[in-house]
Amino acid sequence: MFEAQYAWKFAQTEFGDTEKKLARTMNLSPLVVHLLLSRGFKTTAQIKSFLNPTVTDLSDPFLMHDMQKAVERLQRAIVDAQKIVIYGDYDADGITSTTLIYETLEQLGADVEYYIPDRFKDGYGPNKDAYQRLIENGAELILTVDNGVSGIDAIRYANSKNVDVIITDHHELPEKLPQAYAIVHPRYPGQEYPFGQLAGVGVAFKLACALLDEVPQEMLDLVAIGTVADLVPLVNENRALVAFGLSALQNTQRLGLEALFKVAGLTQSMINEENIGFAIAPRLNSLGRLKTGALGVELLTTLDEEAAQKIAAEVQQLNQTRQGLVEKITDEALDVLKRRGKHLVNVVCQEDWHEGVLGIVASHLVEKTGKPSLVLKVSGENAKGSGRSIEAFQLFEALDGHRDLMKNFGGHHMACGLTISLDKLDELQDVLDQEAKKQKLDTVSKPSLQIDAELSFDDINLDLINDLKKLAPYGNGNPKPIFAFSNYQIYEAKLIGKKKNHLKISLGQKNNKIDALAFSVGERGQEIVRDTAPLRFVGRLGQNVWRGKVKPQILISDLAYQGLPVIDQRTAKLQKRMFAATGTYIFFNEKLYYQLRDYLPTKADTVVGSDVVSAEVKTSNLIFVDCPPSLDVFATILKRVSAATVTLIFYPYRQQKAYLEGMPTRNDFAKVYRFVMTHPGIDIKKNLAQLAAYLKIKKGMLIFMLQVFFEVGFVKMDNGLMTGYSGSKTVDLKEAPSYHSRQQLIEAENLLLTSRPDELKRWVLQHTTVEN
């Protein structure tokens, strides 16, 4: 058994007059309106603005701090033919930022080069040694993109060499800022830009707009990639930039992007924010993690188709290598955590880990443990690495007040990078645990997961999915809605993927089924498939395209076991030891109960015969001794009772072997009918055995057939004598209660007595929960 990884927080889902009125006014589904209202959009104007971003949503770039100063300095450098070096960053945001500004300055005729720092030699942000090399090679103006605000030493060195530095950045501002020529930042104190959550590429784009005095539409593809990749909130200006950028991506002429789409298995028409986040950004990031981010700029700027394909192939190979490293290090880090004492924040460090993937590993540890995590690599006398957090813990704030503990530090709420002496690691752990207690992380049992609504399975269709697409692009600040689901059954659960670590569930109702997918489920997936555990899950709606057919599907966000242990003790031979357990024993046949009641424990409760269906039972162990007369009766009981365990004996008492005999054939009924019509006054009690032998029909089957005839009026009884009766109406024997009851009994016995243990458990577990 397993619990959900998150604490599910359900939103109010009843649609009131406001939702209904807005839905009619704006021709939207009430669910979409409900989601918009819950995200803070209260008026028609606000909703229209959100759903249909326009160029007017883009703020004047000159409202940003030092923008005018930066533009004038760059213009002077272009006029004076000064050598400009763009100092970028090695992640997807930094690569796209560098590409965007490089193309902008080239377009303006600048003498421009770019430099992407080496993650392993230069580290993040301005590096004094790197600046020295750039200046020695002729740099006369350095322009940072997606970095710079933490580069005090490097920028001080540049100033000493009379080289100006223009910073464009979006990261958290430290208390002390470098003495740069200009700092272009959307959250600069005292002159805050109308929207402060731009990505690095967003800030670079605003600089490009200011330099070109227009909105460069052809560069919006880069903006979309960098913005989505950096996980900034996709609201306000970011939403507009990504919406425009997705359209640009679907029509991009960049040979490098076309080649990248191909190796990622994508077509341009498929590009959306999810494909950027899960396919494009990880591949660009793999360059800086394992080799050099400069290859990414080359890929995005090349006009050579052969070169584009060659670089894209290398990107693909590096990404596969990165995936293998992440899996290996994550497993090793989890082993380290198992051996350590309990802490509120995970801190792990090892010598042979690859520095380039530590941030991803930290994210995986957060996902698997629910705790903020720092993953570090031993580098000489230091440890260097990355941290990732959860919503309930301000990681940057926790460490910002302890900068004296670290040699290098930077980041934001959910992530950080740092370098620290090895002998300070224990102190770092203590500090983080103390800060976690200050932020009351010890009172948070599970990270919360907001559930936007509960949907009936009947509501899931392509029309609903297309309605929900109106809220896209989804991302941080505008998450894809998560739903709980009801009114379904699980028909099949299996593990898929090369390593069989992903779960695929077929669920629905009869002929209307859809698939639900859960990725990297580990041991939980094995338990679900092995024990056919009933599930309660929440997830996001999507669609699957296969051979031109589009079907809804669910991507599971979290799941929990919802059921109880089912013990299979089915037998055709009863033994006294089977009745040692305390609990409540269910007998459908009263005669069997009287035969076995002396075997039952003295404290055992019993429910017998007709009382079974209506009984309200609460017990530690519900024990079914014999087979129920129908599956409907069995399901009704399972839904009414409350039990910690269900034990199934299902002894086939006396005539309860109908599944072996089946139903009489049409010829059998005809043969018996002809006999009773031609032999009036038969003493059934005395002659039943002889009659069964004469007709060559088993005694029990003959009793059943005569009962059917009696119920439809084909035979009558008078003082124990049976006489055939020919009516004027055509009668369907299947309408007889006995016929219907036997059909139900055969169906029940086929499942309950002959099915495999896993099939039986699945059926029982699916019927123990009133709501799925």
pLDDT tens digits, one per residue of 133-172: 999 999 999 999 999 998 999 999 999 999 999 999 999 8
Angle at 322 between CA 317 and CA 328, to 5 degrees: 130
Are 616 and 639 in contact, with CB atoms under 8 Å apart?
Answer: no
Residue 354: give its domain's CATH number: 3.10.310.30
Q: How many C-beta neighbours within 10 Å does residue 439 have?
A: 18
Rounded to whole angstroms, how far apart are CA atoms 83 and 226? 26
Greater model confidence, 28 or 100: 100
3-state secondary structure of 522: coil
Determine, yes or no, domain membership for 683: yes
End-to-end CA distance of the chain: 17
- CA distances to 148, 166, 483 from 179, rounded to whole Å, are 11, 10, 50
pLDDT value, residue 772:
36
174 and 296 in a single domain? The answer is yes
Band the pLDDT of 655: cuts 50, 70, 90.
low
Residue 674: give its domain's CATH number: 1.10.10
Q: Where are the alpha helices (DSSP H) in 612-698?
A: 631-640, 658-661, 666-678, 684-695
254 and 225 in a single domain? The answer is yes
Q: For residue 59, which of 187, 193, 169, 191 has the smallest C-alpha distance?
A: 193
580 and 601 in a single domain? The answer is yes
DSSP state of 280: I
Please, which residues bridge with residue 621 across strands? Answer: 645
Greater model confidence, 657 or 393: 393
Band the pLDDT of 510: cuts 50, 70, 90.
low
Last residue of a domain, one of 561, 588, 623: 561
Band the pLDDT of 20: cuts 50, 70, 90.
confident
Are 103 and 219 in contact, with CB atoms under 8 Å apart?
Answer: yes
pLDDT greater than 60 at residue 75: yes
Segment among 29-38, 237-246, 325-334, 635-644 with least mean pLDDT: 635-644
User: Which segment, 303-312, 391-400, 517-526, 531-540, is predicted with the most confidence on average?
Assistant: 303-312
460 and 538 in a single domain? The answer is yes
Determine, yes or no, domain membership for 329: no
Rounded to whole angstroms, how far apart are CA atoms 416 and 62? 30
pLDDT value, residue 771:
39
Residues 715-719 have a mean pLDDT of 88
pLDDT in tens, 545-601: 887 788 999 999 998 876 677 888 999 888 888 999 999 999 999 999 999 999 999
Q: Where are the alpha helices (DSSP H) in 643-683?
A: 658-661, 666-678
Band the pLDDT of 531: cuts 50, 70, 90.
low
Residues 200-204 have a mean pLDDT of 98
Determine, yes or no, domain membership for 322: no
The two tokens of residue 595 are 């035969």
- Give phi and psi for 652, each to the nearest 5: -80, 85
The alpha carbon of 350 is separated from its chain's Cα centroid by a whole number of angstroms, namely 30
pLDDT value, residue 770:
38
pLDDT value, residue 406:
95
- Mind giving me the DSSP string for 437-491? HHTTGGG-SS-EEEE-EEEEGGG-SHHHHHHHGGGPSPBTTBPPP-EEEES-EEE
3-state secondary structure of 608: strand
Last residue of a domain, one of 286, 317, 348: 317
Token pair 């009801």 is found at 486
What's the pTM value of the predicted model, to 2 decimals?
0.75
pLDDT in tens, 102-134: 999 999 999 999 999 998 889 888 999 999 999
423 and 465 in a single domain? The answer is no
pLDDT value, residue 534:
65
- Is-cis flag, bond preceding 479, omega within 30? no
* Cβ neighbours of residue 364 closer than 8 Å, sequence gap 6 or more: 326, 330
Rounded to whole angstroms, how far apart are CA atoms 748 and 631? 5
Residues 289-305 have a mean pLDDT of 97
* Cβ neighbours of residue 746 closer than 8 Å, sequence gap 6 or more: 658, 659, 662, 663
Band the pLDDT of 535: cuts 50, 70, 90.
confident
- Mind giving me the DSSP string for 350-362? ETTS-GGGHHHHH
Strands (E), 63-219: 83-87, 111-115, 141-145, 164-168, 182-184
470 and 597 in a single domain? The answer is no
Q: For residue 299, which of 85, 116, 146, 112 has the smallest C-alpha distance?
A: 116
pLDDT greater than 60 at residue 402: yes
Residues 698-723 have a mean pLDDT of 90
Band the pLDDT of 533: cuts 50, 70, 90.
low
Determine, yes or no, domain membership for 708: yes
Band the pLDDT of 654: cuts 50, 70, 90.
low
Domain of 35 in residue numbering reads as 7-52+449-561
81 and 132 in a single domain? The answer is yes
Determine, yes or no, domain membership for 755: no
The alpha carbon of 616 is separated from its chain's Cα centroid by a whole number of angstroms, namely 38
pLDDT value, residue 307:
97
Are 279 and 260 in contact, with CB atoms under 8 Å apart?
Answer: no
Residues 268-280 have a mean pLDDT of 94
* Cβ neighbours of residue 78 closer than 8 Å, sequence gap 6 or more: 84, 105, 108, 109, 110
pLDDT value, residue 532:
58
Segment among 65-79, 118-132, 757-771 with least mean pLDDT: 757-771
Percent of the chain's residues with pLDDT above 90:
64
Radius of gyration of the chain (CA): 36
3-state secondary structure of 170: coil
Angle at 95 between CA 89 and CA 98, to 5 degrees: 85
385 and 474 in a single domain? The answer is no
The two tokens of residue 626 are 């014999």
pLDDT value, residue 12:
74
Q: How many C-beta neighbours within 10 Å does residue 677 have?
A: 14
pLDDT value, residue 165:
98
69 and 160 in a single domain? The answer is yes
Average pLDDT taken over every residue of the chain: 91
Last residue of a domain, one of 654, 689, 722: 654
Residues 305-330 have a mean pLDDT of 97
270 and 416 in a single domain? The answer is no
Segment among 66-75, 78-87, 716-725 with least mean pLDDT: 716-725
Determine, yes or no, domain membership for 434: yes
pLDDT greater than 60 at residue 208: yes
301 and 394 in a single domain? The answer is no
Element spanning 10, H or E: strand 7-10
Determine, yes or no, domain membership for 323: no
Determine, yes or no, domain membership for 459: yes
DSSP state of 172: P
pLDDT in tens, 466-478: 999 999 999 988 9
3-state secondary structure of 73: helix
Are 539 and 554 in contact, with CB atoms under 8 Å apart?
Answer: yes
604 and 727 in a single domain? The answer is no
Single-letter code of the amino acid located at 411: G
Residue 487: give its domain's CATH number: 2.40.50.460
Report how many domains make up the chain.
5
Single-letter code of the amino acid located at 566: V
